[in-house]
Amino acid sequence: MTIATIYSAIANMTIAVDGTNATAYGLASMPDAIETAQLPVRLLVSVGGSTQGASIRPSTLGTLPGMQATWQVQDLMLYRPPAQGMGLEQMNAALMNYCNSYLSAIRTNALLTSGALTTDIRLEPGIYEHPPESGRQYFGVMVTLTIEEIY
C-alpha cells in the first residue's frame, strides 16, 4: 500500500453535514481556493498540514518480517463562512452532527485498506482559514486520523 491509497480510501468515505455530503478533495484533486458555492468540502491536506510518516519501524507478522508505518492525516471540512447568517447555536449543532457522521464513517471503515487501520481520531470544530494566509475563514472541523500501516 501507499499513502496515496490511504488518502483515496479516506476521500471515498461519504460524510454529510446538515444533510449534504461534503465533497472530498484528495492529493490529486486539491483546488487552490474554495468558492462558497462549493461548500461543504473536505480537504485532505498534505502541504501546510501535518500529514507525516510519524514513524516507520520493522515488525514481525508471525514469522514474516515487515514494516509498520504510523501516519497522521488531516481531513479539513469547511462548512460556511462565519458571516453567512447562521447563529452560533445552529452552527454548533451542524458541526457536532458532522463529527458524529465522521465517527460513524470511521466505525464502518476503520480498516481503510487491507493493511491500514485507523487507530486514533481527533475532531476539532472551529474557525479555519483556507488557503493559509488568505484571510478567508470558514466554520469547519479538522479531523486528524492516526493510521497504522503494515507492509
Domain with 29 in it: what CATH number? Answer: 3.30.2000
**Number of domains the chain contains:** 1
**Domain range spanning residue 81?**
3-150
Q: H helices of 55-117, where?
A: 88-109
Judged by average pLDDT, the poorest of 62-76, 89-103, 125-139 is: 62-76
pLDDT for 28: 80
pLDDT over 90, % of the chain: 56
pLDDT for 51: 46
**Phi-psi bin for 147: left (phi > 0), alpha (psi -120 to 50), beta?**
beta
Does 57 score more than 80 pLDDT?
A: no
Does 18 score more than 60 pLDDT?
A: yes
Does 101 score more than 60 pLDDT?
A: yes
The confidence band for 63, taking pLDDT boundaries of 50, 70 and 90, is low
What pTM value is reported for the model? 0.85
CB-based burial, 48-67: b 16+ in 10 Å, e otherwise: ebebeeeeeeeeeeeeeeee
> Is the distance from CB of 112 to CB of 6 less than 8 angstroms?
yes
Q: Report how far residue 58's alpha carbon sits from residue 129's, in angstroms, rounded to the nearest whole number.
A: 38
